[in-house]
Amino acid sequence: MFVLIVGAGRVGSSVAKTALTAGHEVSVLDEDPLSHERLDVGADGTWEDRGGRFTVGTALEIDALLEAGIEQADAFIAATDGDNTNLVVAQLADKRFGVERVIVRVMDPYRAAWYAEQGLETISPTAHAISMFNKALDL
């Protein structure tokens, strides 16, 4: 499977590394060149040596998405630190490029729920945190 991950923060880079280790083709897009370091931490050899791809660019720029290989992607993960960016690029991947599996991180649980109703596969860390706190307190 070819996985394109937008946003190489803690979440994005970690999922990228796991996917690469599991034998998938992985391409990462981030506007900050320094975010590349997260892909190298704790691994032998650079991200590229291990077979990963990394593109510097903004996900709203079609050229950057194309360079990162969106046309070949089987799965698309939107994991930047901005809900709004994630929601827009996820819809781009879904509607414009027809990527089969689009998963988007949305901090705001209410919007995560609404966009899920519209057919996007959303993950809301905030919603998870709330339910785990509630569970921890037996609420």
Residues that bind other proteins (CB under 8 A): 60-62, 82-85, 87-88, 91-92, 95-96, 108, 110-111, 114, 118
By beta-carbon proximity to other proteins, the closer residue of 20 and 106 is 106
What minimum distance in Å lies between the beta carbon of 15 and other proteins?
Answer: 22
What minimum distance in Å lies between the beta carbon of 93 and other proteins?
Answer: 11
Judge contact between 16 and 39, C-beta under 8 A.
yes
Q: Which two tokens stand for residue 44?
A: 């032998």
Regarding beta strands 101-105 and 75-78, do their DSSP bridges make them parallel or antiparallel, or are they unpaired? Answer: parallel
What minimum distance in Å lies between the beta carbon of 78 and other proteins?
Answer: 12
| Residue 73 neighbours by CB under 8 Å, 6+ apart | 2, 3, 4, 27, 93, 97, 99
Distance CA 127, CA 123 (A): 8
Nearest to 6 by CA among 41, 74, 56: 56
By beta-carbon proximity to other proteins, the closer residue of 4 and 94 is 94
Distance CA 87, CA 103 (A): 10
What minimum distance in Å lies between the beta carbon of 114 and other proteins?
Answer: 6
What minimum distance in Å lies between the beta carbon of 84 and other proteins?
Answer: 4
By beta-carbon proximity to other proteins, the closer residue of 55 and 94 is 94
By beta-carbon proximity to other proteins, the closer residue of 11 and 88 is 88
By beta-carbon proximity to other proteins, the closer residue of 51 and 119 is 119
